[in-house]
Every structure is written in C-alpha cells, then in structure tokens.
Structure 1
Amino acid sequence: MDVSSSAVIGPALRLPHPIGIVIGDNAVLHGSITIYQNSTIGSKNGYPEIGNHTIIYPNSVIVGPINVGDHCVIGAGSFLDRSLIANTVFHK
C-alpha cells in the first residue's frame, strides 16, 4: 500500500483489504470512504476529490482533477476520469 503524506484523508477511511492500494499526492478523500484492494487514486493533470460515503471496489482507477460526489459507488475494475454527481453508481 502506498499513501502519500500530502493526501488529505478524512475520518473513517476503511481499507478492508489493504493490498495494492495507491493514494497519490494532493488527493482529497472526505469521511466514510471504503477502498478495496488494488485500487489507485492518482494524477492525470491533477488529483481527485472524493465525497463522503463512497465505496471504491477492487481494481479501480480514479484519476484527474475530478470530483466524485457523496454516496457514490465505483464498480470493480472501473477506470474513472470524469466527475460524478452524488448518488451515482459507476462501472466501466
């Protein structure tokens, strides 16, 4: 697991299987976020901001200067490089 010391991580971050997780510089993770194994939150000309009560399932990649709203679900194996409004389920 590789978590940058400059990432902003709120309370209640859950890492049920903390293997292969990467959280890059300047990523912002608000409270109550769950991230499963082999997921990356990284840069593509900027870092993501992820809202409260979001679940990121295994093998997902979230990159770019994007915003992920509260109560979102990112499906397993997803590649996300665009913003999501609150209460969105994304799988691609």
Structure 2
Amino acid sequence: MLKCTKEDVFAAKKFDPAAPSCLMVFLTYPGVIALRRHRRAHKLWLKGYKNWARWIASVTRKRTGIDIHPAAKIGHGVFIDHGMGLVIGETASVGDNCVLYHGVTLGANTFEKVDRHPKIGNNVIIYANATLIGPIHIGDHSIVGAGAVVLKDAKAHSRLIGVPAHKNPQTIIQEWTGIFKRKQRFSNPSHIIILDWQIGINLIS
C-alpha cells in the first residue's frame, strides 16, 4: 500500500505542473488522500471487514468530495486531479497510470447485483464530467473527452468525444489513411472489397 501511495504522489507531480513538494501533495491533494484511504478500505473489504471499509469510504467522501466504493479496484500511479464529484462504482476497475478529472462517473447500467461498472485500461485519461456507464472496457492509452458519455467498449488508443461518445474524427481519418495504404498494396479484387467493408464499418461506428 505504501508503494502505491508513493506512485500516486509521483503521478501527481508528473501530471500537475502546479504540484508543490511531494510532502505537500501527500498531505493536501484530495485525490492522493482519497486513493490512500481507498486502498486501506479496499484491503479491509477483501478481508471481510466491509462495515469498516464503508465507514472509511464515507469519511473520505465527506472530506474530499470523492466517492469510491471500497470494492472498486484501482491500479498503481493513478492521479485524480481536483476530484470533486468523482464517482467510482462497486464493480469498476481503473488500471495503472490513469488520470481522472473532477466530475468523472464510472457508473452502473442496472440495479441488479452483477458486474455493472466500467473497466478502464492502463494509461487512460478521462477528462472532467465524463460519464462511463455499464460493464464496458476502455482500452489502454485511450482518452475520453470532457463531458463525453461512453456506453460502448473502446479499443486501445481511442479518442472519445461527444454524447453519446464517438471516435474523434481525426482518429478515424488516421485509421482510413492506414487502410488506404494497405489497399494500394493489393491487386486481388476480393481483398479490396474486404478493405472497403472495413472503411464502411468505420464510417458508421
């Protein structure tokens, strides 16, 4: 747990140009405080001390404005910037080296007690007030724009914007460029038809 906290502090120093000394980050940054307490609560939750875990989560929410269910899984080197209004549900998970801004919600799409929250890969950035709903998966190195509403899985290196969220047009253009380059290398008409079909899928996705 100490190693994780150390990595969280270093992540704050890395991603926040306004970050003061490591000691001040450790003592005063709401995101670092919330993560430190969550790791303690999560450990208690796994050991069966669920009431204690919920109490820690409740106190943390009152102090920081960050609501993380004690059962949620959080990776190493995570940075929660500002954090006010951030919500992470029970079956959600966040990978290593992710950055989450204030107002982000990793929420459920059902009242059933099943796997119902998003799974975030490694090195993902989720900007302010983005909402991700349901047991979807966001691939590594993806970016979710501010205010986006994400309801579907996203591959690695995705750039998601809008309501409901869709790929950034620049990302789609880059994908098309790669497909066209491959298309030029084929002489078999059947191969070209397959590639045209891929382009059509990108247009409507």
Structures share fold, TM-score greater than 0.5: yes
Pair 1:73 & 2:143 matched:
yes
> 1:1-92 alignment to 2 at 5 Å?
1-45=66-110, 46-92=116-162
Tell me the alpha carbon deviations over residues 27-76 of structure 1, each in whole angstroms, 9 at most, x when there is no partner: 01110110001110111131111000000000100011111000000000
Alpha-carbon distance in 2 for matches of 1:49, 1:38? 17
Structure 2-normalised TM-score? 0.44
Alpha-carbon distance in 2 for matches of 1:63, 1:55? 16
SS in 2 for 1:15: strand
Q: Which has more strand, going by share of residues?
A: 1
Q: Would you identify which runs of 4 or more consecutive aligned residues in structure 1 move more than 3 Å?
A: none
Tell me the alpha carbon deviations over residues 7-39 of structure 1, each in whole angstroms, 9 at most, x when there is no partner: 011111101111110001010111011000111
State the structure with more CA Rg. Answer: 2
Alpha-carbon distance in 2 for matches of 1:47, 1:16? 21
Q: Which has more helix, going by share of residues?
A: 2
Unaligned runs of 5+ in 1: none
Alpha-carbon distance in 2 for matches of 1:38, 1:48? 15
Alpha-carbon distance in 1 for matches of 2:147, 2:84? 15
Q: CA RMSD for the aligned pairs?
A: 0.7
Structure number with the bigger relative contact order (C-alpha 8 A, sep ≥ 6) is 1
Deviates more, 1:10-19 or 1:68-77: 10-19
Unaligned runs of 5+ in 2: 1-65, 111-115, 163-205
Paired residues in the alignment total: 92
Structure 1-normalised TM-score? 0.97
Identity fraction in percent:
34
